[in-house]
Amino acid sequence: MDKKLTLFALTWPIFVEISLRMLMGNADTLMLSGYSDHAVAAVGVANQLIGFAIVMLGFVALGAGIVGSQYLGAKEREKAAEVVVVSLAVNLIFGIVLAAVLYFLGPFLLSAMGLPDELMEPGRMFLAIVGGLLFFEAISVTAGTVVRSYGYTKDAMYVTMGVNVLNVVGNWFVLFGPFDLPVEGVAGVACSTVISRIVGAAVLMWILVRRVDMQLPWHLLTGYPKQVLKNILRIGVPAAGEVLSYNGSQIAVVTFVAMLGAEAITTKIYVQNIMMFIYLFSVAVGQATQILVGHQIGAGDKEAAYQTCMRSLKLSLVVSLLMALLFSLFRERLLSIFTDNPEIIALGGTLILLTILLEPGRTFNLVIISSLRAAGDAKFPVYMGILSMWGVSVSLCYILGIHFGLGLAGMWIAFACDEWLRGLLMLWRWRSRRWEKMGFVTKEPRSEAAQA
């Protein structure tokens, strides 16, 4: 039975889910702060490696979500079910490989990141437990993305809520020892994290099997589903290139910020944490639009896809601008939540004011790039992203921030130039409608049953 999809019905559960991930994603670190500062530092560094691995797992899931949406829009539910099985299998294998890397190379990776010797043991322990069992997260990421592509964004939201609550409760038991239970520290927090993720993966798999209105073709696992895998990777691989390029450019920027001193690094972290809540709505709208456009492209309704993206863009631009203005009005109060250092508050306030210029540009990218991918135009955002991230963002960060001495304010201006350049290029690409000529995954002749 097909589910009626609307932008609002898809967006608000995704918005709530991402909000929960932002608020609760660092629950381990926050709760460990009451146990040991050393534990916080060790787990924080280990979580950077785990977070990067989870981002890598998202590439196959992204491709599966878009390809599945197109097949569902084309009423090719059998094909969509094939995508489910293949993506789960491929990401599970990928997850096992990444888990092995984190488990066996954990000490080397932590040492390469500069983790002090006194923090190595708790960091290694956390990475071995959480990273070594990362393949459960591979199942969760893939199943969650596929469930959303079927339109059941509320189901994914409820699972995220449950996983976060279970993790926090587990942390409370192992860190504070209620009812005379032993305090387990880092090892206990790691086990709590893993258990909550295993439960989340199991529930998402149960929801997925229940929501797919047919028997999943598990027999595909005995063969080599070349075409299905090719379709998934056709979207996922370019997305991987874009994200890896962005992460690399951010590492370069951090080295420039480090030249400005520890206070500048702290200010950047605080302001970026605040900024996440400014562009949160655009992220949610972008993901919801991706699902809608994928369904509409699969159904052959390109005009509806075009209008969906443009409506989503206008809505997100208005909301992001209003949020930037609101946060700017209360910038000093927001920063005072993190620090009482007047210099950090003053500099951070300037950066938040600059978000009024930056965030609308970011909105173009969050919404339109999602739509281009959903329409099968996955390579253009990558090429333009690499060109702008390195040619504009990184270069201008050094020129304005370091060479001309504008510091973080100059770097924020560089970020805005990058976002606006890429955003306007994405708008030009979408309005050119060149994506309509892409070879969609649903280009194969539809079955008689689907046409009926």
Please report, for the chain, the start and end positions of each structural domain, with discontinuous segments joined by +.
7-223, 238-443
Q: What is the pLDDT of residues 184-212, one digit of tens each?
A: 778 888 898 899 999 999 999 999 888 77
426 pLDDT band (50/70/90 cuts)? very high
- Could you write out the three-class secondary structure of 75-92? CCHHHHHHHHHHHHHHHH
Q: What is the pLDDT of residues 222-255, one digit of tens each?
A: 666 778 888 888 888 888 788 788 878 877 887 8
Residue 273's pLDDT is 76
User: CA nearest 146: which of 74, 75, 210, 225?
Assistant: 210
User: CA nearest 411: which of 369, 350, 368?
Assistant: 350
Q: What is the pLDDT of residues 81-140, one digit of tens each?
A: 888 888 999 999 999 999 999 999 989 888 887 777 888 888 899 999 999 999 999 999
How far apart CA 298 and CA 24 sit, in angstroms, is 35
What is the distance, to the nearest Å, from the Cα of residue 94 to the centroid of all Cα atoms in its chain?
18
- Mean of all residue pLDDT scores within the chain: 85
CA triple 81-293-70, angle to 5 deg: 25
Mean pLDDT along residues 161-178: 84
Prediction pTM value? 0.80
**How many Cβ atoms are within 10 Å of 221's Cβ, its own excluded?**
12
Contact 156, 17 (CB under 8 A): yes
412 pLDDT band (50/70/90 cuts)? very high
How far apart CA 423 and CA 416 sit, in angstroms, is 10
How far apart CA 43 and CA 39 sit, in angstroms, is 6
Residue 452's pLDDT is 34
Tokens representing residue 216 in the block: 């999943």
Tokens representing residue 325 in the block: 């203005």
37-41, 413-417, 428-432: least confident range: 37-41
Q: What is the pLDDT of residues 299-313, one digit of tens each?
A: 889 999 999 999 999
Total residue length of the chain: 452
